[in-house]
């Protein structure tokens, strides 16, 4: 749908092109210099055929060897000057393009990492990868191989035509008689290649998204023996990409031979008419050589302008996708100014309503209060709203209605970074980055010392197993921590949470993947850690939360019960049923 819509637009979107040009503002001096070089090259280049014509007519035909040596030397100087200027022009435009995409890639990545979690919930990872890498790479070609070189080619065409008309207007009209056909063929080529490129970009995006998803989920694919089915899907997408590329190649394979035929026709018409003028005494021999060079200088940019316009179109299509990403307001509003170094940790939910979309509420009119230093346990079935509640506390999502406060200050009044610095979260699904254990714990925060990391690891009970790893804290963790056991990854994430010294500690089923022995160690550490620190614990195992000060029972987004373990058991309600169910399960086991 996106490619069809884009195809209906004009050949070049000048508004979008102007927006791309503004990306070069930090390098405006070098941009202007490249324009100046293009102008200088356009002026210098047509002098060579003129020198050849003058040499033939005044020295070669008159057998003047001394004059011929002088003109050859002059021609050599022109070639050297032009070569140096062309080298500077090509290098400068390439450097400019790379500088622009470097800045743009940084801007896109900064936009992505500051986007709200809803963006990642709805956008495939492969799509973001395509926008950040290959789409932005196409923008580089807009500068280095597209826009500036097209400007240079247009200037060259204008200057060459001026020289040709000045030299012999009749031969000029004959030489350019095939241009209308060339312009028609060029327009057909541009439109065809643009359509094929749009389809190519669509298929590349699909392929990136497919690969990212399936490489991440390769364990599931192999466990359920669906390799052949998934391979067939990959082959279909890959085949669609091949067809899009071949379609573009088909246009190229027709266009360039057509241009060569038209060039040969122009040269033929020139020689025929110039010969008649020479025989009739209206022109000299040098004009044929000069005009053959002029025609090649004229057709060369005309031939490549079509391809360069397609390069610009590629950049426009890719850049349009990137700008759509940048123009989407995906950031959590950060208008708060309150940025305390430390909070006590009093938490209050007041009539909070929240929905991931506008129709289905994940939380419905939730209200509760937790005093500073208390531990709150949240229980409930899958999808009851437990994780949604803690996600709102750190403003990873914004609430629809109601209010959440920390120390009686609305979380929207906190500066976002300052708010999140007060919290550490341990999730059930632990993510470890490629790097050392120490880097994964500190997240490369240089303010955290190795001694602090070791102290936290000892407190959690992770120091012993980390010390046994090759290199200890310098052990290289593979992507997603694939070389570590699930329980080991969980312990490392727990140490990570502790070293940031949070005022509020959140454990989202953090012990669910750890064996009983490790869980016992962590439970003892938690008892020490929660002293003087507000803690929120989400757990399926009710036995792990009996000593919590308060327990919140969620069901279908509603807060059904709230109170201490003993109080909720005495109410003989939803919590009592959950507790009895797990107790009976443990007995039967």
Closest CA to 23 of 342, 287, 316: 316
Q: Are strands 423-426 and 347-355 parallel, antiparallel or unpaired?
A: unpaired
Q: What is the pLDDT of residue 512?
A: 59
- CA angle 445/451/454 to nearest 5° reads 95
In this prediction, residue 474 carries a pLDDT of 92
Q: Is the pLDDT of residue 342 over 50?
A: yes
Predicted local confidence at residue 242, as pLDDT: 87
CATH number of 429-501: 3.40.50.300
Which tokens sit at 262? 């038209």
Measured between alpha carbons, how far is 362 from 19 in angstroms, rounded to an integer? 40
Radius of gyration of the chain (CA): 35
Sign of CA dihedral 542, 545, 549, 551: negative
In this predicted model, what pLDDT tens digit does every residue of 497-554 receive, in sequence order? 888 888 898 888 766 555 666 566 667 666 666 677 898 988 766 666 767 889 999 9
pLDDT at 572: 86
Query: Can you tell me the mean pLDDT for 288-313?
Result: 77
Q: Which helix (H) or strand (E) holds 354?
A: strand 347-355
Can you give the pLDDT at residue 256? 80
pLDDT in tens, 167-189: 888 888 888 888 888 888 877 88
Q: What is the enclosing helix (H) or strand (E) of 404?
A: strand 401-406
- For Cα atoms 68, 74, 78, give the angle at the middle one, nearest 5 degrees: 140
322, 382, 503, 527 from 374: Cα distances, Å:
46, 25, 11, 11
What pLDDT band is residue 286 in, cutting at 50, 70 and 90? confident
What confidence tens digit (pLDDT) does each residue in 369-414 have?
A: 999 988 898 988 878 888 888 889 988 888 889 999 999 999 999 9
Top-confidence residue, 209 or 443 = 443
Structure pTM? 0.67
**SS3 string of 46-63?**
CHHHHHHHHHHHHHHCCC
Which residues partner with 562 through β-bridges? 552
Q: Is 362 helix (H, G, I), strand (E, B) or coil?
A: strand
Could you give the CA distance from residue 446 to residue 402 in angstroms, rounded to a whole number?
38
pLDDT at 366 (0 to 100): 93
Of 12-26, 219-233, 300-314, 439-453, where does mean pLDDT reach its minimum? 300-314
Least confident interval from 141-155, 426-440, 451-465: 141-155
CA-wise closest residue to 160 among 79, 46, 50: 46
Distances in Å between the Cα of 475 and the Cα atoms of 369, 453, 550 are: 43, 14, 40
Q: Give the chain's length.
A: 589
Task: Give the mean model confidence (pLDDT) for residues 224-251.
Answer: 85
Q: CB count, 10 Å around CB of 432?
A: 22
pLDDT at 4 > cutoff 70: no
CA dihedral of residues 279, 281, 286, 290 (deg, nearest 10): -90
- List, by residue range, all CATH 1.20.1560.10 domains of the chain: 14-327
State how far the Cα of 337 lies from the Cα of 413, in Å rounded to an integer: 6
3-state secondary structure of 552: strand
Q: How confident is the model at residue 555 (pLDDT cuts 50, 70, 90)?
A: confident
User: In this structure, which CATH number among 3.30.70.580, 3.10.310.10, 1.10.10.10, 3.40.50.300 belongs to the domain 338-422+504-589?
Assistant: 3.40.50.300
pLDDT at residue number 2: 43
Kindly state the tokens that stand for 525.
Answer: 């550490």
Structure tokens, 550: 């308060």
Paired residues of 170 in beta bridges: none
Residue 1 has pLDDT above 50, yes or no: no
Which ranges of 168-226 would DSSP assign to H, the alpha helix?
Answer: 169-175, 179-216, 218-223
Angle between helices 65-113 and 148-167 (to 10 degrees): 150
- Give the pLDDT band (50/70/90) at residue 131: confident
CA distance 460 to 438: 15
pLDDT score, position 44: 83
Least confident of 107-111, 117-121, 392-396: 117-121
Q: What percent of the chain has pLDDT over 70?
A: 88
Residue 142 near residue 311 (C-beta atoms within 8 A): yes
Q: What is the mean pLDDT of the chain?
A: 81
Minimal CA–CA distance to 351: which of 361, 359, 336, 360? 361
Q: Are 558 and 529 in contact (CB under 8 A)?
A: no
Greater confidence (39 vs 307) lies with: 39
Most confident of 318-327, 393-402, 426-435: 393-402
* Local structure of 366: helix, strand or coil: strand
Question: 14-327 falls under which CATH superfamily?
Answer: ABC transporter type 1, transmembrane domain (1.20.1560.10)
Whether residue 98 is predicted with pLDDT greater than 50 in this model: the reply is yes
Which region holds residue 338: left if phi is over 0, alpha if psi is between -120 and 50, else beta? beta
Residue 198 pLDDT: 74
- Half-sphere exposure of 161 toward its Cβ, with a 13 Å CA cutoff? 14
Query: Angle CA(259)–CA(262)–CA(266) in degrees, nearest 5?
Result: 135
Instruction: Label residue 562 by pLDDT band (50, 70, 90).
Output: very high
Report the distance separating Cα 561 and Cα 578, nearest Å. Answer: 12
Q: Compute the distance between CA of residue 272 and CA of residue 127 in angstroms, rounded to an integer.
A: 58
Region(s) of the chain under CATH 3.40.50.300: 338-422+504-589, 429-501
The residue-averaged pLDDT of 246-275 equals: 83
DSSP type of residue 146: I
pLDDT of 9 reads: 46
Residue 555's DSSP bridge partners are 558
CA distance 8 to 143: 24
User: Exposed/middle/buried for 398, CB within 10 Å: 0-12, 13-18, 19+?
Assistant: middle
Neighbours of 183 (CB within 10 A): 12
Pairwise CA distance, residues 508 & 506, whole Å: 6
Q: Is the CB of residue 500 less than 8 Å from the CB of residue 452?
A: no
In sequence order, what are the beta bridge partners of 551? 377, 563
Sheet-wide strand order for 401-406: 361-370, 347-355, 401-406, 409-410
Tell me the C-alpha distance between 319 and 19, whole Å.
Answer: 10
State how far the Cα of 528 lies from the Cα of 264, in Å rounded to an integer. Answer: 88
Quick one: three-class SS letters along 313-335? HHHHHHHHHHHHHHHCCCECCCC
Contact 555, 381 (CB under 8 A): yes
- Can you tell me the distance from the alpha carbon of 260 to that of 266, in angstroms, rounded to the nearest whole number? 10
């Amino acid at each position: 749908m996106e490619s069809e819509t884009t195809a209906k637009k004009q050949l070049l979107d000048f508004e979008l092109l102007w927006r791309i040009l503004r990306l070069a503002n930090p390098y405006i001096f070098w941009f202007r210099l490249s324009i100046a070089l293009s102008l200088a090259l356009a002026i210098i280049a047509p002098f060579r055929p003129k020198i050849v014509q003058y040499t033939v007519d005044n020295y070669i035909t008159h057998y003047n060897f001394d004059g011929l040596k002088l003109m050859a030397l002059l021609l050599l100087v022109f070639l050297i000057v032009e070569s140096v200027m062309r080298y500077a022009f090509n290098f400068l435009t390439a450097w400019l393009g790379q500088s622009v995409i470097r800045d743009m890639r940084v801007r896109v990545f900064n936009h992505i990492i500051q986007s709200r979690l809803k963006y990642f919930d709805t956008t495939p990872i492969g799509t973001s990868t395509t926008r950040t890498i290959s789409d932005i790479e196409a923008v580089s070609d807009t500068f280095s191989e597209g826009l500036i070189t097209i400007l240079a080619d247009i200037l060259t065409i204008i200057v060459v035509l001026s020289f040709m008309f000045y030299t012999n207007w009749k031969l000029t009209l004959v030489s350019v008689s095939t241009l209308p056909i060339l312009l028609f063929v060029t327009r057909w080529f541009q439109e065809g290649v643009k359509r094929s490129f749009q389809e190519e970009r669509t298929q590349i995006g699909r392929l990136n998204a497919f690969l990212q998803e399936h490489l991440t989920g390769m364990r599931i694919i192999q466990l359920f023996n669906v390799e052949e089915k998934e391979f067939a899907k990959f082959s279909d997408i890959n085949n669609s990409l091949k067809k899009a590329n071949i379609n573009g190649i088909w246009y190229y394979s027709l266009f360039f031979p057509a241009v060569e035929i038209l060039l040969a026709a122009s040269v033929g018409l020139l020689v025929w008419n110039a010969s008649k003028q020479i025989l009739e005494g209206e022109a000299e021999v040098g004009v044929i050589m000069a005009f053959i060079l002029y025609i090649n200088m004229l057709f060369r940019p005309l031939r490549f302008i079509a391809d360069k316009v397609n390069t610009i179109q590629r950049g426009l299509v890719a850049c349009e996708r990137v700008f759509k990403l940048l123009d989407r307001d995906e950031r959590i509003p950060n208008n708060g100014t309150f940025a305390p170094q430390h909070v006590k940790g009093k938490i209050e939910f007041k009539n909070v309503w929240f929905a991931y979309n506008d129709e289905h509420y994940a939380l419905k009119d939730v209200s509760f209060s937790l005093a500073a230093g208390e531990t709150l346990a949240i229980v409930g079935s899958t999808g009851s709203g437990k994780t949604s509640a803690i996600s709102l506390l750190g403003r990873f999502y914004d609430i629809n209605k109601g209010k959440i406060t920390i120390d009686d200050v609305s979380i929207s009044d906190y500066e976002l970074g300052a708010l999140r610095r007060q919290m550490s979260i341990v999730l059930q699904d632990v993510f470890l980055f490629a790097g050392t254990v120490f880097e994964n714990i500190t997240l490369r925060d240089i303010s955290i010392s190795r001694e602090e990391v070791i102290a936290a690891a000892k407190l959690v009970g992770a120091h012993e197993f980390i010390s046994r790893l090759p290199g200890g804290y310098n052990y290289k963790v593979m992507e997603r921590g694939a070389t570590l056991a699930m329980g080991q990854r969980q312990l490392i994430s727990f140490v990570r949470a502790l070293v940031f010294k949070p005022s509020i500690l959140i454990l989202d089923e953090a012990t669910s993947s750890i064996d009983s022995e490790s869980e016992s160690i962590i439970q003892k550490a938690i008892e020490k850690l929660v002293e003087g620190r507000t803690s929120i614990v989400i757990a399926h195992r009710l036995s792990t939360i009996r000593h919590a000060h308060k327990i919140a029972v969620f069901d279908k987004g509603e807060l059904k019960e709230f109170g201490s373990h003993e109080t909720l058991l005495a109410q003989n309600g939803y919590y009592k049923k959950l507790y009895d169910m797990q107790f009976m399960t443990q007995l039967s086991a």
